Structure 1
C-alpha cells in the first residue's frame, strides 16, 4: 500500500504525531512558513532620483511591497531563503504518494501555511487534504483523520487581507516618517495602536495631580483582651471625606470621650464562582502575574507543551470545552477531591463577543498527567503546565462558599464599621489558590458589646494615577478594546518593545519621547490607523471575511482608498496641512567644539543636544553632541516628600507639563512635553545630585582609552572613544556597570564533531559556551564539559577559574557540563546521561561547590 504524506510546521510536532500515525504515513515538517511576500531583501532596490515622476515612485513601491493595490491586488510571493531544500524534499515525496495531508495549525495562519504548501508543491490538487486537530493525542488525531476536509480559502483570504494591510502601512508610512521625523521609525496597523495606549497612559500619569486624603481607623479593646479595628466611614449619613490632618483631629476630638457599642451585625452567605479555563490572553496574564514570564516566553513554552502533546492548541479566544474533556475532568475531581467538590452539572463558560475561533480553551490533554518529568521539558515549561492544569481542574469544581460579615457601630452622627469573610467551603480554591482567613473570630462579637478605645489610627494617603502597563495588562487592554487576536498578542508586544518607542523598567512600560512624537503625528495625519474603534472594526471585518460574509478585496479597496487619501495629505508641508517635521530647537548653549549654538533633537536613541553645525558641508560639519539624562532615569533626592508632579514646571506658552533633563551636575533643562510643536525650554543652574556620576569615565579594557556615558535605544551604556575599538559596557538596572565582555578564547585541541573546525569559548546572554572558530560557516555550538575547562584552566581568565574547579562527574560517573540559570543569571553544573539530565547538579555558593540531587 502506498504511504500518505503528512505535513506539519514544527519538527517536534512531526515527531510527536509520527508516534500515533504508524508506518502508513510519512510525517514531514515545513519548519514554519515556506513562502511570503516579496521584500527589500528578496528584490534589489533600484536607485531613484528626486526628479523621478510620481508613477515611477509608485511602480517602485509596488515592486518592493510585492502586492499591487491598483491591479485587483495582484500579489507576488517568493520562496523564503533556506526553504528550497525542504520544498524539494516535499515535492519528491509528494510525487510518490496518493494523499497529502496538510496538518498545519488550526488558526488562520495555519490555514495560510497549508495553502502556500499546496501552491509550492503543485501537482494534482485532489491529492491535498486538510486535517486539523486541537491537541496532539491518539484520540484527537484518529478523530481528525476520520473527519478531513479541504483548505478553507475564506480563512486564507482573511489572513492575506491582514498581511496586505500591514504591508501597505509599513512600506508606505515608514519612508515618510524617516523623512519627516527621524530615521529608523516605522508604523504598524496594530502595533501603533498599542503604542498609543501606552503613550496616553504616560500623559495621564505625567499630568496627574496627586491629592491628599485621610482615613481614620480606631482600635478598640473588647473583653478578654480581644481587640477590633473599625473605620470611621460616615458622618451625618454621608461618606466621610477627610482632606487634611486638621479635619482628622477635629473628628478625633469629637469621638475620644464617647462610649461605643456594637449596634448591628449583618451576615450573608455568598458564593464565588470558579474562573473560566484559560484562553490565550488570560494565560499570558496569569503567567506574568504568577510566574513572572513575558508574553513571548509564555507563548514559546506553550508552543512546546502543545507540540509535545501535553496541552491543547494555545492560540484561542474560546472558552469551549469538549464533552470528552469535561467527562475526564469530572471523573478526576470525583476520584481525587471527592463528590462534594463536583457540581451536579458541568460549568459552562460563554465566549466573549466576536470570538474568532471555534476550538477549545487551553487545557491539559491528559488530566492524569499532574506533573511532567524534567527530562522531557525544562522547569519553566513544567511550571506553565501546572498553571494550566490547576486552572482546568478549578473551572469544573463547585463555587467557594463563604459568609460575609459586617459589624457596625452607630454613634450620634457617626458610623463605624469593619467587615470580613469566613470560608465555609473551599470549592475550587482548594486547587487554585490559598485563601486568607479573617483575623477576627466574628462569632465572638454580639450586638451590645461595649468597645473601649485603645488608640486612634489616622492614615495620610494620596490619590494615585492609573498604574503603568506591564505586558499582561497591556494584552488585557488590547483584548478589551477588541484590538488584535490570540495569534498576534505576543508579536505586538515584542515589536513595540524592540522598536524604541517604549522602554521597560521593572516590567513596566514607559513611553519614550520619540514614541510620543510618533503617536502625535499619526493621530493628526492618520486618524484611522491609531483609532481604537477603527482598528477593532477592522478585526471584525477580518472575522467576517473568514466566515465568507464579505469580500476580502472589497475590504482592502475601502481601506486603501481611505489610507491613500490620508497619506497624500500627510506628505504635504506643515503649512498645507501635512505632517510636521521633527525640527531642532536651538538653545542658548554653545558648542564646546565650534562655539555654535546647540539644539534640542529627538531621535530613536532619546533626547539630546546636537551642534547646529551638523547640517553644514561635510568639511565644516560639527558632530558634537551632549546626552540629556531624563530625571526619572535616576533616583534624584526628593525634598520634604514632595511628589514629582508638584515639582513639574508648566510651559508658559501651551501650559503643558515640562520634561526635565540633566545636562550635567550643574545644569538642568526643562523642555515642553509638546515639543517640537512647542519650542519653549528653560535652563536652570544649580547643584543636582544623582545616584550616578554623570561625568564618570571608564578605562577601556581593550585599548586603554576613555569610555564615555552614552544613551542608546535600549538605555544607558559606556562606549570607547576609540572608533576602531567599538567596545561598550552596559549600565545595569541597579546602576552598576556590567562586567567586561569575555574575549573569545581559542581551544584548538577541542575539535568540532560536524566539521573540521575547532572550538572557541564565548560568552553570551546564557553564559559561556563553545562555538566553532569558523563561524558563521559552521554554526556548531555546545556546552563545555567541566573536565575540558579543568584541563585548559591556564587559558581561562580568573573570573572563570571557579568553573574549572567544579565537580567533573556525578556519583554515578556521568560527566558534568556547564549550565546557566536564567532566573538568577548564574552558572552551575549538571550531569547528563544519554542526552538527558539526570537530576544531579552543583551550585557555586559562598566560594564553594554544593551538590544537589533531585
Structure 2
C-alpha cells in the first residue's frame, strides 16, 4: 500500500514522483473535474446562490480511475497549485472522493524541488474554505454576468455574442483609448538643438535651447524659431555652469506575474499566453542533465516581491563566485509589494540560482523555456546585486542670452548592470556622452537647427501596457490577465495591429451598448472594488453569499431597465469598407464579423448574398502552378505561405515571399533564414540561391 498524491498536470506529477519515491503514487487530475453545467445557468439565485456542480463529461473515466486509486491508498494528499484555483480543485476532489473535510490532506508546493516538496508534505493542512469560497464567488459572478447578459446582446445586436465581467471592462479601456486617439488634435511646436565640440576635438555632443533672457522658451512656429536662430548667428558658446553629482541606480525587483508578462513582451516579443505556458512548464519541472525532472522556477502566479533568505544566500554565493564581493550590496535588497498584493508566495525566481541559463540550455529544453528561464534568472540575480554608480554632469551653455542645457554621465561602477537592465517602453533614448568641460570654456558650434515637432496622441495599448494598466487599476488578478486578453481577442471585440490592440467595429458596438445600459458593470472602479471584495472573502473578512447578493441586486435592476429601454430595438454593427468589388453584382464588398471571425460580404445584401473569406495576398506567384501565394495561418495560429489553389496544388512554405524574380527561371524568390539568410527559388528543378550578404 502507498499514499496517493493528486496534482494538476502530468509534468508536475512526473517531477513530484521523482522526489517522493516509491512510497507514493502521484496522479494528475488534468485541472478541474467538476464545473457548472454549460447548458444552463447552474446557480440557484433564490437559494443563496447555490452552485449546481456536475462532473465534466470527458473526465468520467479519469474520475473513476482516481476514485479507484484513492480507495486503495493509505492516505490521499491533494496537491493542486498553491492558489484559489488549486484550492478549489482540491475541494472538488475531496467532494468526489468523500474525504473528511477536517482531515489535513491539503499540501501546497511553492516550488517543485526537493526542499519545496518536503516542506509541503511535512506541513499538510485542511482545505482553506475561504480560498475555495473566493474562487467559487468569482466563478458564480462570471457565470451570472455571462449567462444573463449574453442573451440580451443576442437580441439587441446579433446571436453568438457573449459578455464577461472583467472582459467587458478591458474592452472599454481599449475603446476609451481609441476615442482619445480620434479626439486628439495635434499641435505644432519647435525646438532648437545645437551640436558642439571642444577645441581640438571633432567629437560632438548635443545641447537643447531652454531659456532666452532668463525666460523659459516655448516655440510655437517657424517664425519664432527663425528669429532666435538669427539672434544666434555668430554667437559665442561659453560654458556657464557645471553641476556634477553621483547617481545610484537600483536594480529592478524580481518578477511578479504582471512584470514578467510585460518584460517578456518587450524583450522577447512573447504574448502573455506564450509567456505563461513556458512559465508553467518551468515550474512543473523539466529533465535537467544530472538532476532529472526538476522544477526550475517558483510558482508563476504571484504579485508578491518577497524572497526567502535561502534564495538570497544562494544568489549571493553565485554573485561572489562570478563577480566578486563588491557586487554584493552592504545591506540585503528588499522590495516592497503593492498594498493589495497576496503574500502567500514568493516573487518568481529560479529554484536553483546556481543553475545558469547555459546549463539549462544544454539539457535540451525548448527555445521558449530557455529564453524565459534566462530572463527570470538574470532578473533575480541582478535584483540581489549592488547598485550601479554613475558620475553625472549637467552643463549650462550661454550664447547671446540664450541658454542651452545638456546632461551626460559616465559609469563609475557597473554593479547589477553587468548582468541585466530592465527594458522600458522609451528605451530608444540615447545617453549623451560629454567630454571634460570647464566653466568659462569657449565651445565650437558644428550645427544649429530648428526642428519642427507635433504632439502625439496617446499610444494604443499593447499587451504589456494593458497588463500594466490591469495591475495599476486593480482589474483582475495575476491568474486572469492572460485569459482576459485571449477572450476579448477570440470574441473579435479586439484585434492585434502589430503589437497594438485596437477595437473592432463589433467591439465598439458592444462596448457602446454596455456603457449606455450597464455603466456600473464596465466601470473600472466598481470592478476593482469587486476584486477587493473577493480578496476579503479569501481572508475570511466577508461572506461570499453576501458579496454575490450585493452585486446581483444592482445587476438585476440594471438588466431590467436595459430590457425596457431597448424593447423592440436592435443595434447594427457598422461594416468596414473595402476597395474590392463584388464579382456577381458589381457593388462594393464590405468586411463583416461573424461567429468565426471576419469575412467579406456584398454590400448589396439581401439582394446579393455573395460572401468570401478574407485573404492576404503576398504579391508572389506560386512556383508550382503560377497562381497567387497567400499568407495563411495554421490551426495553432502560426503564419505560413501557400498557394491559393490548395489543396489541389499543395505548395506551402515558411519562407517569406519577395518581389524578386529568379534570374534563371523567372519564378518568385523567397527569403529564407531572416535578414542574414538567402533568397531561394522553390521552382522544382531550378535550385537557384543567392546569399543576402551579396546585396551588401
Q: TM-score, normalised by structure 2?
A: 0.84
How many angstroms apart in 2 are the aligned matches of 1:119 and 1:764? 51
Do structure 1's residue 739 and structure 2's residue 643 form an aligned pair?
A: yes
Task: Work out the CA distance in 1 between the residues paired with 2:85 and 2:688.
Answer: 51
CA distance in 2, matches of 1:822, 1:562: 56
The answer to whether the 8 A contact 2:348-2:376 is kept is: yes
C-alpha separation in 2, matches of 1:765 and 1:17 = 39
Conserved? CA contact 1:6–1:100, under 8 Å = yes
Check conservation: 1:484, 1:539, Cα contact below 8 A.
yes
Asked if residue 109 in structure 1 is aligned to residue 85 in structure 2, the reply is yes
Matching residue of 1:418: 406
C-alpha contact (below 8 Å) 1:215/1:460 kept by paired residues: yes
SS at match of 1:404: strand
Distance 1:203 1:824, change over 3 A: farther
Partner SS, residue 95 of structure 1: helix
Matched, 1:287 2:264: yes
Q: Counterparts of 1:24 and 1:557 in 2: how far apart (Å)? A: 47
Match of 2:533 in 1: 541
* Counterparts of residues 164-243 of structure 1 (less than 5 Å): 164-226=140-202, 227-243=204-220
**How do 1:699-738 residues align onto structure 2 when only pairs under 5 Å count?**
738=642
For each residue in 1:195-227, what CA deviation from the matched residue of structure 2 results, as whole angstroms up to 9, or x when unmatched?
Answer: 111111111112222222222112234210343
1:366 aligns with 2:357: no
Question: What's the counterpart of residue 292 of structure 2?
Answer: none
Are the equivalent residues in 1 in contact too, given 2:79–2:107 (CA < 8 A)?
yes
Secondary structure of 2:58 counterpart: coil
Q: Residue 310 of structure 1 is aligned with which of 293, 296, 303?
A: 296
Matching residue within 76, 89, 94 for 2:65: 89
- Measured after TM superposition, the shift of residue 740 of structure 1 is 4.0
1:10 corresponds to? 9
8 A contact 1:279–1:362 mirrored in 2: yes
RMSD over aligned Cα atoms = 4.0
Indicate the residue corresponding to 1:349 in structure 2. Answer: 335
Paired residue total: 643
**Counterpart of 1:382?**
370
Which string of whole-angstrom CA distances, capped at 9 and with x for unpartnered residues, describes residues 444-465 of structure 1?
A: 2111111233221222221111
Q: Give the 5 Å matches for 1:51-130.
A: 64-125=40-101, 129-130=105-106
- Is the contact between residue 7 and residue 13 of structure 2 (CA under 8 Å) also seen in structure 1? yes
Partner of 1:624: 609
- Aligned residue for 2:30, secondary structure, equals coil
Question: CA offsets per residue over residues 151-198 of structure 1, 9 Å max, x none?
Answer: 001110000110001111111111111110122321110011111111
Once the 2 structures are TM-superposed, how far is the Cα of residue 411 of structure 1 from its aligned partner?
3.9
1:228: how far off?
3.4
Match of 2:450 among 433, 458, 465: 458
Gaps of 5+ in 1: 41-63, 615-621, 635-690, 708-715, 719-727, 746-760, 768-798, 803-819, 827-844, 850-854
Q: Shift of residue 229 of structure 1?
A: 2.6
Classify the secondary structure of the residue corresponding to 2:165: coil
Counterparts of 1:498 and 1:606 in 2: how far apart (Å)?
Answer: 11
**CA offsets 1:224-248 (integer angstroms, 9 cap, x no match):** 0343332111123332112222222
Residue 682 of structure 2 corresponds to: none
Query: Is residue 136 of structure 2 the alignment partner of residue 146 of structure 1?
Result: no
Deviation of 1:141 (Å):
1.1
**Distance in 2 separating the partners of 1:572 and 1:598:** 37
1:39 aligns with 2:32: no
Instruction: Report the equivalent of 2:307.
Output: 321
Q: CA deviation at 1:509?
A: 0.9
SS of the equivalent of 2:403 reads strand
- Out of 385, 388, 396, the residue aligned to residue 384 of structure 2 is 396
Change (3 A) 1:140 1:346: same
Structure 1, 201-210 or 133-142: larger mean CA deviation: 201-210
- Superposed displacement of residue 145, structure 1: 1.3
Alignment deviations for residues 533-559 of structure 1 (CA, whole Å, 9 cap, x no partner): 000000000000000101000000111
Cα deviation, residue 766, structure 1: 13
Instruction: Give 1:5 shift.
Output: 0.6
> 5+ unaligned residues in a row in structure 2: which ranges?
286-294, 657-666, 679-686, 692-696
C-alpha distance in structure 1 between counterparts of 2:108 and 2:533, whole Å: 24
Partners of 2:608 and 2:59 lie apart in 1 by 44
- Given candidates 408, 428, 440, the residue that maps to 2:433 is 440
Aligned-partner Cα distance in 2 for 1:262–1:522: 60
Structure-2 change in CA distance of 1:240 and 1:514 (3 Å): same
1:670-681 to 2 correspondence within 5 Å? none
Equivalent residue number for residue 756 of structure 1: none
Equivalent residue, structure 2, for 1:554:
546
CA drift of 1:361 comes to 0.4
Contact 2:110 2:345 (C-alpha < 8 Å) held by counterparts: yes
Aligned equivalent of 1:572 = 564
Alpha-carbon distance in structure 2 between the residues aligned to 1:592 and 1:402: 65
CA contact (8 A) 1:38 1:78 kept: yes
The partner residue of 1:269 within 246, 250, 258 is 246
Could you tell me which residue of structure 2 aligns to residue 812 of structure 1?
none
Alpha-carbon distance change, 184 to 430 in structure 1, aligned in 2, over 3 angstroms: same
Deviation at 1:624, TM superposition (A): 3.5
1:549-585: CA deviation from partner (whole Å, max 9, x where unpaired): 01000000111111111111111244x7x97633789
* Distance in 1, Cα, partners of 2:245 & 2:94: 63
Kept in 2, the 8 Å contact 1:99–1:127? The answer is no
Alignment equivalent of 1:253, drawn from 230, 252, 268? 230
Structure 1 residues 823 and 572, CA, compared in 2 at 3 Å: closer, same or farther? farther
1:532: which partner in 2? 524
Separation (CA, whole Å) in 2 of partners of 1:549 and 1:360: 23
Contact 1:596 1:613 in 2 (8 A): no
Q: Find the counterpart in structure 1 of residue 417 from structure 2.
A: 429
Helix, strand or coil at the partner of 2:61: helix
Q: Are residue 408 (structure 1) and residue 401 (structure 2) matched? A: no
> SS of the counterpart of 1:224?
coil
Paired residue secondary structure (1:455): strand
Aligned equivalents of 1:737, 1:382: Cα separation in 2: 28
Rounded to whole Å, the distance in 2 between the matches of 1:165 and 1:78 is 18
The 5-angstrom pairing of residues 766-845 of structure 1 reads none
Distance 2:376 2:7 in 1: 25
- Please report how far the alpha carbon of residue 79 of structure 1 lies from its aligned counterpart in structure 2 after TM superposition: 1.2
Distance 1:737 1:103 in 2: 45
Kindly report which structure 2 residues correspond to 1:455-494, keeping only aligned pairs within 5 A, or say none.
455-494=447-486
Whole-Å separation in 2 of the counterparts to 1:744 and 1:33: 43
Instruction: Please give the TM-score of this superposition, normalised by the length of structure 1.
Output: 0.69
